[in-house]
C-alpha cells in the first residue's frame, strides 16, 4: 500500500521507499521519509497530498506518494 491509498489523519509506518531515482530518494530522506518512520496524510489534494513527517508538514505530488510504501 502506498500513500495515495492512505486514510487522512491516520498514522502509518513507512515500510520502504521504492524508487530508482537517487535524487528523489535523497530528497525524501532529507525530509525524514525512510523505513520505520511514522507518517500521516493530513489531506489528499488533486495531484498529491499533504503529509506530516517528524515535526514538518510537506506537500508531495502523486509520484512521490506512490514511491512511499506504508504498512497497511
The C-alpha angle with vertex 50 and arms to 53 and 63, in degrees rounded to 5, equals 95
Give me Rg for the CA atoms of the chain.
Answer: 11
Whole-Å CA distances, 38 to 20, 21, 46? 22, 22, 23
Residue 60's pLDDT is 93
pTM for the complete prediction?
A: 0.89
Q: How confident is the model at residue 72 (pLDDT cuts 50, 70, 90)?
A: confident
pLDDT per residue as tens digits for the range 21-71: 999 889 889 988 999 999 999 999 999 999 999 989 999 999 899 999 999
Amino acid at each position: 500500500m502506498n500513500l495515495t491509498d492512505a486514510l487522512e489523519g491516520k498514522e502509518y509506518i513507512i515500510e520502504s521507499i521504492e524508487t530508482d531515482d537517487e535524487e528523489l530518494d535523497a530528497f525524501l530522506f532529507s525530509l525524514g521519509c525512510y523505513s520505520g518512520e511514522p507518517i500521516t496524510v493530513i489531506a489528499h489534494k488533486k495531484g498529491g497530498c499533504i503529509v506530516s513527517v517528524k515535526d514538518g508538514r510537506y506537500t508531495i505530488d502523486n509520484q512521490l506518494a506512490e514511491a512511499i510504501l506504508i504498512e497497511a
